[in-house]
Amino acid sequence: MNLKRSLDAGGIVFPVLVGGRLLLALTNLSGALKRDHQLSSPLTSYLNLQEGIFLFKNGVDPYSGGVFRHSPLFLALFTTVLPASRTVSSIIWTLCDALGAWALVQVWRARQQVAKTSRDSLIAAAYLLNPYLFLPTLALSTSSFENTLALLALMFAARGDASRSLLAAALLLQFSLSSILLLAPLLLLLASSPVSQLASPRAFSANGKSITSFVAEFLAYTTVLTLASTLVSGGWAWIPQTWGASLTLPDLTPNVGVWWYFFTEMFDHFRPFFLMVFSVHLLIYVAPVCIKFQYDPLYAAFVLLGVLGTFKSYPSMADPGLFISMIAIFPEIFPCKHPIVTALLHLHAALLMPLFHHLWLNQGTGNANFFYATTLVFACANGAALTDCIWAGLMIAIGEPQEDYVVVQE
């Protein structure tokens, strides 16, 4: 009922966008895109998922090989509730994106504390028309589910619905281990409010007891879901194959992230050390970001999503895509520091990546370094977007720049 009312409030734009996306999903694009390394990683690839489902249905443990790295919950979903045919999948994936867009609009409304704004359709469009998001969806990458779950967790948290939010976060954790980073800002958000406080920083004030109970609830959900996964897959073998994969990087299939090339070049005896460095590097951001933006945990979550999109182990286009689309719900940070430079960096990266991928793997005139170089451009573009947003978020508190005054340190 709530969903229906929100859709009506969104006016005609939202249904039109979803309709257009559904039409696009029904064309045969996914066949051409589903093998693309930039749109899905080994952890989110539809082809791997299909193989796992096939093995599972035929009584072979899908986790005994080295291919299937999806959560057992996906196995459970696709072997019982959801059919695995391609057309139906395309529709499900697109509807999942629509749900994500709806959740994003809800987050926006919760942040503004209003029922309906003129900006709603723009935000929905920013999510549904972002090529970084709809191309992975067309390629049936399961990162679409991860994005939607992340947005749902944020949405419920913004509304103060702790249980659902934590359930969504626990589900998200099942699908992607690195999303644990989001837990801290999510808890802060549950304990405070989603309203924009960027302009008026203050110390965090909420009772710590509620947070303890939230953590307990989250742990309970996670335990239940983990046990459920173990039941589904009939053993613990899924843990090293799914969660473990994002820490130990067994599959070096190229993707848009910065890990794969580094570890293809790595001598074996350095590998454990650098795996530790890379993983800990992700964790390092959590505390400073949450402390700095303690007055606006939603913003902290947004920044951490940007960190994940740039530095996580098996990213696809969809991870930075979520961060970029989320910029739409923070109009107070516009214009960021160097919007055109960041936009041009992204334009270069987005054009160069498929091109160099083609030069390397199809045309054969390039090599792995070509594609790696463009993933670095992409990482720079994501990094630039991230620093722009952090900078802009901090500068709001200082106000309009004054003549003859420069901020040296915030």
Which chain residues interact with another protein by CB under 8 A?
Answer: 340-341, 344, 347-348, 351-352, 355-356, 359, 362-367, 370, 403, 406, 408
Quick one: how many helices (H) and strands (E) in the chain? 20, 0
Q: Which two three-digit tokens encode residue 219?
A: 């742990």
Please identify, using beta-carbon distances, which residue of 29 and 206 lies nearer to another protein.
29
Please identify, using beta-carbon distances, which residue of 95 and 395 lies nearer to another protein.
395
Please identify, using beta-carbon distances, which residue of 218 and 356 lies nearer to another protein.
356
Q: Which amino acid is at 134?
A: F
Please identify, using beta-carbon distances, which residue of 157 and 336 lies nearer to another protein.
336
Q: Minimum CB separation from another protein for residue 400, in Å? A: 10
Please identify, using beta-carbon distances, which residue of 38 and 106 lies nearer to another protein.
38
Please identify, using beta-carbon distances, which residue of 13 and 359 lies nearer to another protein.
359
Distance CA 131, CA 134 (A): 5
Please identify, using beta-carbon distances, which residue of 268 and 403 lies nearer to another protein.
403
Q: Minimum CB separation from another protein for residue 23, in Å? A: 18
Q: Minimum CB separation from another protein for residue 396, in Å? A: 17
Please identify, using beta-carbon distances, which residue of 26 and 341 lies nearer to another protein.
341
Q: Minimum CB separation from another protein for residue 27, in Å? A: 15
Cβ-contact 146, 179 below 8 angstroms: yes
Q: Minimum CB separation from another protein for residue 42, in Å? A: 25
Distance CA 100, CA 155 (A): 10
Distance CA 127, CA 133 (A): 7
Q: Minimum CB separation from another protein for residue 49, in Å? A: 26
Q: Minimum CB separation from another protein for residue 358, in Å? A: 8
**Collapsing DSSP states into helix, strand and coil, what is residue 60?**
coil
DSSP state of 70: S
Cβ-contact 43, 20 below 8 angstroms: no
CB atoms within 10 A of CB 251: 17
CA–CA–CA angle 112, 115, 116 (5° rounding):
90
Please identify, using beta-carbon distances, which residue of 60 and 351 lies nearer to another protein.
351
Cβ-contact 395, 407 below 8 angstroms: yes
Q: Which residues contact 15 (CB under 8 A, 6 or more apart)?
A: 7
Instruction: Characterize 316-345 residue by residue with b for buried, 16 or more Cβ atoms within 10 angstroms of its Cβ, and e for exposed.
Output: bbbbbbbbbbbbbbbeebeebeeeeebeeb
Please identify, using beta-carbon distances, which residue of 77 and 343 lies nearer to another protein.
343
CB atoms within 10 A of CB 156: 25
Please identify, using beta-carbon distances, which residue of 267 and 405 lies nearer to another protein.
405
Q: Minimum CB separation from another protein for residue 344, in Å? A: 6
Q: Minimum CB separation from another protein for residue 341, in Å? A: 8
Cβ-contact 300, 289 below 8 angstroms: yes
Distance CA 188, CA 180 (A): 14
CB atoms within 10 A of CB 52: 26
- Please give the full DSSP string across 237-260, using - where no structure is assigned: THHHHHHHHHHH-------SSSHH
Distance CA 356, CA 363 (A): 10
Q: Minimum CB separation from another protein for residue 29, in Å? A: 16
Q: Minimum CB separation from another protein for residue 331, in Å? A: 13
